[in-house]
Amino acid sequence: ALRIAHILRNTSAFQGKDVVVQGWVRTRRDSKAGISFLEVNDGSCLTNLQVVLERDRPNLAALVERLTTGSSVEVRGTLTPSPGKRQSVELLARDILLYGWTDPARYPLQKKRHSFEFLRTIAHLRPRTNTLGAVARIRNRLSYALHTFFQEEGFFYVHTPIITTSDCEGAGDVFRVTTLNPTELEHANDESLYAQDFFHKPTFLTVSGQLQAEIYALALGKVYTFGPTFRAENSNTSRHLAEFWMVEPEMAFADLDDDLALAQRCLQYVVSDLLEHSWDDLQFFARFVEPGLLESLKAVKEQPFEVISYTEAVNLLKKSKEPFNFPAEWGSDLQSEHERYLTEKAFRRPVAVINFPRDLKPFYMRVNDDGKTVAAMDVLVPRVGEIIGGSQREERRDMLLEQMNRKGISLESYAWYLELREYGSAPHCGFGLGLERFVQFVTGLGNIREVIPFPRTPGHADF
Ligand code: 4AD
Ligand code: MG
């Protein structure tokens, strides 16, 4: 069988030819003239293929009634120019095979628009909707473009572990991994407890592959990791998941300016790629979800992002006279309302905020000469806020030791991380780009639960 996307990209080649397509019936309309029209979608693209059925054909007559919304079919026929305005071609059916019939009275996906909340309860069927289908194709293209970008820039893909003993971000939002049963966990004291545990020590699902990526950057020069990461943040927001995907490049002999330039090239490359290869899906989101979408994507492609220091950002927010719920103050994290002000009102494009206060950021970031700030960068985009967090890493052993002591990081557990600074240490930097936040940005979808096939949030781990 042919994919509908392939047929529609090559209509002149298939005109008048016999083709076979397989997919799911979206709708059926029976006209009085003895003709029925099916809209068939096979997931390869947003567009349905119109199938025309002559009901008096003996092999079709009995079947037509059973071609209900949601049913899976194989259609054989001739591709012909369509007299209709909505499509250039249609498939004149000669034969139809019904694979799986759907009871229209019970099928949860009715012809109306369903709420995203409802669709989440039927995650086994929601990829058959236009929105979730388009999201899945965009996630695919985005992942492919990210790999292509880093490969073309000479980065090696490194597979960092999922189970780990380190808590890179030091925020304590980790999921424990243990083979002990709850009673054992309750009754054993620490040492005897871990003696029975699989790894003989506390282990977690990774919150970031960065620390291991640093090891490989200090051996291969430029690497990236791209995988799932886990955070037990108990925050029920539209931008947080307990399981999300992150791409994390790390490069040696490079500083914060190189990091900013890499992030800039990465965003431009990937957005240009999407504008070229996912145009139909993006247009769908521009039409039904976020009217300003295409303009904001083109702006990313054409303009470099604004770079300002944290201190400048705080001053700007203070001067803005916006009625923030939390007034900006030097030493406090930027709130999402602050991020939105910077990207939507002050600059109207992506903004990279750099040099954050040392006490706001994790232990591994390089301390600046002022002793108060670190060489951090957060890239913020309109509507979504932070999509990239990165930094130059502390490559000086003594300064790293000071940072670890200051933040109560175990010197024993991270001895290897310190030792990396003793043998051929070098300036290096990297960042993490959250795939789901990026998908939110390029689709305009407001809730992060809609941009991942099976969202994990507090209380939700179904499917
Ligand atoms: O800013 P974060 O926490 O940075 C790190 O983890 C660094 N170790 C990355 C590095 O330098 N290699 O996370 C990076 C990005 C955020 O900017 C955001 O896009 C995404 O990961 N992110 C989340 N996405 C969804 N749900 C969550 N709970 C997220 N937490 C972070
Ligand atoms: Mg961050």
DSSP-derived 3-state class of residue 214 = helix
Same domain flag for 38 and 163: no
Q: Is the predicted pLDDT of residue 189 greater than 80, yes or no?
A: no
Q: Which ligand is nearest to the CA of 333?
A: 2
Q: Which residues surround ligand 2, an ion (CB under 5 A)?
A: 389
Rounded distance from Cα 355 to ligand 1 centre (Å): 17
Last residue of a domain, one of 107, 139, 154: 107
Average per-residue pLDDT in the chain? 95
Same domain flag for 94 and 217: no
Same domain flag for 218 and 357: yes
> Does any domain span residue 64?
yes
**Closest residue CA from atom 2 of ligand 1:** 389
Q: Which amino acid is at 419?
A: E
Looking from the CA of residue 378, the nearest atom of ligand 1 is: 17
- DSSP conformation class of 342: I
Rounded distance from Cα 155 to ligand 1 centre (Å): 20
Same domain flag for 59 and 144: no
Ligand 1 in reach of 240 Cβ (< 6 A): yes
> Does any domain span residue 351?
yes
Same domain flag for 331 and 436: yes
Residue 11 exposed, middle or buried by CB count within 10 Å (0-12, 13-18, 19+): middle
Distance in angstroms (rounded) separating the CA atoms of residues 326 and 60: 66
Distance in angstroms (rounded) separating the CA atoms of residues 77 and 81: 13
pLDDT tens-digit series, residues 222-274? 999 999 999 998 888 999 999 999 999 999 999 999 999 999 999 999 999 99
pLDDT tens-digit series, residues 8-24? 999 999 999 999 999 99
Q: Is the predicted pLDDT of residue 170 greater than 90, yes or no?
A: no
Q: Band of the pLDDT at 185, cuts 50, 70, 90? A: confident
The pLDDT of residue 67 is: 97
Q: In the chain, how many H helices and how many E strands?
A: 16, 16
Same domain flag for 81 and 163: no
Rounded distance from Cα 36 to ligand 1 centre (Å): 51
Q: Band of the pLDDT at 441, cuts 50, 70, 90? A: very high
Rounded distance from Cα 210 to ligand 2 centre (Å): 13
Q: Which amino acid is at 161?
A: P
> Does any domain span residue 146?
yes
> Does any domain span residue 463?
no
Evaluate whether ipTM surpasses 0.90. Answer: yes
β-sheet bridge partners, residue 353: 308, 378
Distance in angstroms (rounded) separating the CA atoms of residues 306 and 285: 26
Q: Which ligand is nearest to the CA of 334?
A: 2
β-sheet bridge partners, residue 50: 39
Nearest-CA neighbor of 383 among 324, 342, 327, 431? 342
**Closest residue CA from atom 6 of ligand 1:** 208
Ligand 1 in reach of 362 Cβ (< 6 A): no
Distance in angstroms (rounded) separating the CA atoms of residues 205 and 433: 18
Ligand 1 in reach of 231 Cβ (< 6 A): yes
**Which residues are CB-neighbours of 187 under 8 A, at least 6 positions away?**
none
Residue 279 exposed, middle or buried by CB count within 10 Å (0-12, 13-18, 19+): exposed
Total number of domains in the chain: 2
> Does any domain span residue 8?
yes
> Does any domain span residue 116?
no
> Does any domain span residue 213?
yes
Phi and psi at residue 259, to the nearest 5°: -65, -45
Phi and psi at residue 317, to the nearest 5°: -65, -40
Same domain flag for 396 and 346: yes
Nearest-CA neighbor of 306 among 354, 258, 349, 263? 349
Same domain flag for 316 and 247: yes
Same domain flag for 363 and 423: yes
Q: What is the CATH number of the domain that holds 48?
A: 2.40.50.140
* Entry field: residues in the chain: 463
Nearest-CA neighbor of 366 among 208, 255, 236? 255
β-sheet bridge partners, residue 90: 80
Residue linked to tokens 């499509």: 87
pLDDT tens-digit series, residues 272-322? 999 999 999 999 999 999 999 999 999 999 999 999 999 999 999 999 989
Same domain flag for 164 and 20: no
Q: What is the CATH number of the domain that holds 215?
A: 3.30.930.10
Rounded distance from Cα 50 to ligand 1 centre (Å): 43
> Does any domain span residue 462?
no
Residue 49 exposed, middle or buried by CB count within 10 Å (0-12, 13-18, 19+): buried
The pLDDT of residue 42 is: 98
Distance in angstroms (rounded) separating the CA atoms of residues 259 and 265: 10
Looking from the CA of residue 171, the nearest atom of ligand 1 is: 3
pTM above 0.90, yes or no: yes
Residue linked to tokens 């388009």: 134
pLDDT tens-digit series, residues 358-372? 999 999 999 999 999
Same domain flag for 96 and 61: yes
Same domain flag for 21 and 157: no
Could you list the residue range(s) of the whole structural domain that residue 219 is in? 128-171+207-450
